[in-house]
């Protein structure tokens, strides 16, 4: 039999067929549909009412309020009210209001398991692929179809493997791996394929670091990002999977790219694209106004740990703002219990709400002409402030090191 990739196995399972081939168009049953206050009720509610339709299975729907909270103006209050009122009207069992960012909150509450087929009303929904599930982002019209029928059609994509061997150096993490891949292949490099991350360096990553890779597969232009489930996955989920772990068969990848983690240095993406990867040394003289540790991509507990390793017992540079917006209340609580949060606050950080915030351009945006270094996934012109705002992307290590010196800094220079 022809070797099958993990993506093909997951799709075949969802389609209820023995196997699928690249290019096949199949109808898949959805195990989970996730949407948030921006992508969900304010768009779905009127469409459902016009159709006179009902949600196919409320137990498989998750609503997260993360984009417009805390409400900063009348427009935000109206959007969030629609979401809250609709959730009550529908008696939805899985609603997370102001608990953090959807891509982190949903797996933390056990909604994603290996083998599942999931959709999300957000472009970073591929985060779920870190758990050996097939998850991708869809628009509101597609979500309407899912919410009513519990199904969605899919054209089986090719699988692109990103094979990372070797061991990451101190001060280098998954965000650096991702920026390196985007710099090499561009923002359409995956061309709506399934990207699977494999190799010894991937297996050595924590779950949250794997989430970073799958999250930013969107910036590669992929439909989804995947890491095969293993003992690390099961330990993080704290319960056995209902489905036997699946893995790609040898020889099943349509294309495979190779990387050496041991030679990777901290990466930087210059304004105004994640694909503008450059050596940090090229911008080492660039002074910064703001260092931002936030977003589903860069403010999970592991990211906060990275920043604390740099800043513990130190103070950020005069005139620099260090903003920290933990990705979820759970991560915030754990950061408090580990003493990580206190290290960041003692260094001069300002704590922001656990929400999408500046990353999505909904509050906490930056001022005209400021230079920012950020852990977010995107730095498009005008996304996180006025068009004159210059946003650089780096890991939490790099952002913390830059806050410490007041200029873009290679974290290896300050780590002890």
pLDDT of 1 = 80
Contact 409, 280 (CB under 8 A): yes
One domain, residues 302 and 200: no
One domain, residues 286 and 217: no
pLDDT digits (tens, 9 = 90+) for 343-392: 999 999 999 999 998 898 876 578 899 999 999 999 999 898 899 999 99
List, in order, residues 6 or more apart from 398 with CB less than 8 Å away: 266, 267, 268, 280, 373, 408, 409, 410, 411
The answer to the question of residue 189 being in a domain is: yes
How many independent structural domains does the chain possess? 2
pLDDT greater than 80 at residue 82: yes
List, in order, residues 6 or more apart from 52 with CB less than 8 Å away: none
Q: Beta 117-120 vs 134-137: how paired, if at all?
A: parallel
One domain, residues 193 and 289: no
Separation of alpha carbons 238 and 236, rounded Å: 5
The boundaries of the domain holding residue 90 are 6-259
One domain, residues 216 and 143: yes
Among 259, 287, 305, which residue terminates a domain? 259
One domain, residues 154 and 225: yes
Average pLDDT over residues 9-37: 98
The answer to the question of residue 304 being in a domain is: yes
Sign of CA dihedral 304, 310, 311, 312: positive
- Average pLDDT over the chain reads 96
Write the CATH number for 117: 3.30.499.10
The answer to the question of residue 236 being in a domain is: yes
pLDDT band, residue 241 (cuts 50/70/90) = low
The answer to the question of residue 69 being in a domain is: yes
The answer to the question of residue 345 being in a domain is: yes
Contact 323, 295 (CB under 8 A): no
The answer to the question of residue 328 being in a domain is: yes
The answer to the question of residue 1 being in a domain is: no
pLDDT digits (tens, 9 = 90+) for 301-356: 999 999 999 999 999 999 999 999 999 999 999 999 999 999 999 999 999 999 99
Q: Answer whether 0.95 is exceeded by the pTM.
A: yes
Judging by beta carbons within 10 Å of its beta carbon (0-12, 13-18, 19+), is residue 272 exposed, middle or buried? Answer: middle
How many Cβ atoms are within 10 Å of 93's Cβ, its own excluded? 12
The answer to the question of residue 17 being in a domain is: yes
One domain, residues 229 and 302: no
pLDDT digits (tens, 9 = 90+) for 207-225: 999 999 999 999 999 999 9
Q: Beta 117-120 vs 32-36: how paired, if at all?
A: parallel
pLDDT digits (tens, 9 = 90+) for 127-184: 999 999 999 999 999 999 999 999 999 999 999 999 999 999 999 999 999 999 999 9
One domain, residues 233 and 298: no
φ, ψ for residue 56, nearest 5 deg = -65, -35
One domain, residues 279 and 252: no
pLDDT band, residue 278 (cuts 50/70/90) = confident
Question: Which residue carries 């991560």 as its tokens?
Answer: 331
One domain, residues 211 and 293: no
Share of the chain above pLDDT 70, in %: 98
One domain, residues 317 and 169: no
Q: In 3D, which of 117, 130, 115 has the Cα closest to residue 27?
A: 117
Widest Cα–Cα separation across the chain: 64
Contact 371, 407 (CB under 8 A): no
Among 259, 283, 315, which residue terminates a domain? 259
pLDDT of 270 = 97
Among 243, 259, 275, which residue terminates a domain? 259
State the first-to-last Cα distance of the chain, in angstroms, to the nearest integer.
Answer: 53
One domain, residues 197 and 291: no
One domain, residues 308 and 193: no
How many Cβ atoms are within 10 Å of 387's Cβ, its own excluded? 10
pLDDT greater than 70 at residue 416: no
């Amino acid at each position: 039999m022809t070797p099958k990739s993990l993506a093909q196995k997951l799709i075949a399972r969802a389609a209820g067929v023995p196997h699928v081939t690249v290019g096949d168009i199949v109808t898949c049953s959805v195990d989970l549909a996730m949407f948030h206050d921006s992508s969900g009720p304010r768009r779905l509610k009127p469409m459902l009412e016009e159709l006179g339709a009902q949600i196919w299975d409320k137990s498989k729907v998750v609503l997260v309020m993360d984009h417009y909270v805390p409400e900063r103006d009348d427009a935000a209050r109206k959007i969030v009210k629609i979401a809250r009122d609709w959730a009550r009207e529908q008696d939805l069992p899985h609603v997370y209001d102001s608990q953090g960012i959807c891509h982190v909150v949903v797996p933390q509450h056990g909604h994603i398991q290996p083998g599942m087929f999931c959709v999300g009303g957000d472009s970073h929904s591929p985060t779920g692929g870190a758990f050996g599930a097939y998850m991708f982002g869809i628009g509101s019209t597609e979500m309407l179809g899912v919410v009513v029928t519990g199904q969605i059609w899919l054209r089986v994509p090719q699988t692109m493997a990103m094979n990372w061997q070797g061991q990451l150096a101190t001060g280098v993490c998954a965000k650096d791996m991702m920026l390196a891949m985007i710099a090499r292949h561009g923002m359409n490099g995956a061309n709506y394929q399934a990207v699977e991350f494999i190799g010894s360096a991937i297996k050595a990553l924590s779950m949250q670091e794997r989430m970073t890779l799958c999250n930013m597969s969107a910036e590669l232009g992929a439909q989804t990002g995947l890491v095969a489930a293993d003992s690390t996955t099961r330990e993080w989920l704290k319960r056995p999977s209902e489905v036997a772990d699946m893995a790609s068969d040898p020889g099943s990848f349509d294309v495979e790219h190779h990387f050496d983690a041991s030679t990777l240095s901290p990466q930087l993406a210059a304004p105004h694209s994640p694909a503008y990867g450059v050596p940090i040394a090229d911008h080492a003289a660039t002074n910064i106004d703001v260092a931002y540790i936030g977003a589903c991509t860069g403010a999970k507990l592991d990211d906060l740990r990275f920043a604390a390793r740099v800043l513990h017992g130190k103070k950020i540079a005069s005139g620099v703002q260090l903003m920290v917006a933990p990705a979820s209340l759970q991560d915030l609580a754990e950061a408090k219990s580990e003493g990580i949060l206190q290290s960041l606050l003692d260094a001069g950080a300002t704590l922001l709400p656990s929400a999408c915030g500046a990353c999505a351009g909904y509050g906490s945006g930056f001022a005209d002409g400021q230079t920012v270094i950020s852990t977010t996934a995107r730095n498009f012109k005008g996304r996180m402030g006025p068009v004159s705002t210059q946003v650089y992307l780096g890991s939490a290590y790099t952002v913390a090191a830059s806050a410490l010196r007041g200029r873009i800094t290679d974290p290896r220079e300050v780590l002890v």
